A and B are shown apart, each in its own frame.
Chain A
């Protein structure tokens, strides 16, 4: 009897979880695993408040214009009861976006970049590209991927995030 009740509660929990996804129908759902990873894209909305001061708010970006700066935030949470090691988040930088220099921010994390579609990663200042037949230092517009690597472990329940800004070309 007791066992059956537990099984029913579990089933109910599963249902709730499924419904939770159904509400996000417009987005491809995140894969479930030991770490929950969620991406949001926002843009700055500038307005003037009642005191006459300019206020900058982050609002969800859906429609953008060339030249707009958008902010990607990838949040990762260890939803398991085990410690996760070597947590690495890799995020593409679309060809229609230009990474805003020095905007990759993340506490306790090493940030590297790729200029070859994610094959190799290195610090921005170490990356080179070929331009007009010459090897030159990579520019922000050359970047194809950004990678955040956690220096330490991610304890159960702990959360980290990586963030960068990009300009719509």
Chain B
């Protein structure tokens, strides 16, 4: 016995809407499924035999309509941003994603008044931008956010990169942390999950506040990470008679120690010390943290630059932070 295949009258295809506003797609936040306004219709078919005759007929059709869920997610993209006191226009990068199931506009707000941090960043003017040129950071072409004028309108699942820009106050200490939060709120409405905005959803369906409460925020951090390097140089003279007189023929043994303090990292640090006038570098005398270094420019970090005036010893130290501790360079010269 043959059966009719049944009608399947579901309306809009799943997640059909792509992106609005020239926006990147959502990365790690998933939206809430079937688009608002979708009608899901159902008709059952029945087939049977009665009195030897095969009969097919359909049931009534029942239709349910998917209401709008208002949901939003804000995710911080920047790692902790290292700053110095008095810096201006320091950017924090966020993504705002419409995790609801309908197009929705959002208002944006920055809150710098966190009480759990060491300082309050000062909002730049303007302090909110869209990453219009998709550079991933604040740049000249980025459009400033104007509340009520260009509130981001996002399709379900779509997201937009938002840049929060702050200045850093003066008078801060190393390691001080300042927090800045981006808050996005659905324009249709926010409130306790389950709050209904009757008829205010896309296409006139009800809009219901989802688990986010229709508002989301994320907090970015600045850390004051100044770097200071302390250097100490000492010299010991050994003359030919075993004394310590700086006379011709005597050797001067130099010891230079340096270390980094502060929360930052001194990058690509190079130690360089000119050989004093009227002295001659003693070949092969250069050491770094007790390890001998050759005088040639080669695989090791040290070099004696004989061809420059005055000649100098250099050590390519590289990146150095406070945890590395005291560094020691030694070399010797002969008094001419």
Contact = CB atoms under 8 A, between A and B. Distances in A.
Interface of A: 24, 27-35, 37-41, 61-67, 70, 72, 74, 76, 80, 82-92, 94-97, 117-119, 144-145, 147, 154, 168-169
A117 B66 contact: no
Interface of B: 1, 3-10, 13-14, 32-34, 38, 40-51, 55, 57-67, 69, 101, 205-206, 208
Contacts of A41: 42, 62, 64
Nearest to A145: B6
Given A41-B62, A88-B48, A168-B66, A96 B6 contact: no
Given A27-B61, A82-B50, A95-B14, A66 B101 contact: yes
Given A41-B64, A61-B64, A90 B6 contact: yes
A67 B33 contact: yes
Contacts of B4: 90
A21 to B, nearest CB: 10
A92 B8 contact: yes
A41 B40 CA distance: 11
Given A39-B44, A63-B67, A82-B50, A33 B55 contact: yes
A168 B33 contact: yes
Q: Which of B57, B59, B101 has the most CB of A within 10 A?
A: B59
B42 A92 contact: yes
A119 to B, nearest CB: 8
Given A67-B33, A91-B42, A38 B59 contact: yes
Contacts of B41: 94
B38 A34 contact: no
Contact of B44 (A89, A95, A144): A89
B5 A118 contact: yes
Nearest to A119: B5
20 contacts: A29-B60, A30-B57, A30-B58, A30-B59, A38-B59, A63-B65, A64-B66, A64-B67, A72-B42, A84-B50, A85-B49, A90-B6, A92-B6, A92-B7, A94-B40, A94-B41, A95-B8, A96-B34, A97-B40, A169-B34
Given A39-B43, A63-B205, A96-B10, A87 B58 contact: no
Contacts of A61: 64
Contacts of B60: 24, 27-30, 38-39
Q: Which of A70, A86, A92, A95 has the most CB of B within 10 A?
A: A92
Given A72-B42, A94-B8, 9 more contacts: A29-B60, A30-B58, A31-B58, A39-B61, A41-B64, A62-B65, A88-B1, A90-B4, A91-B42
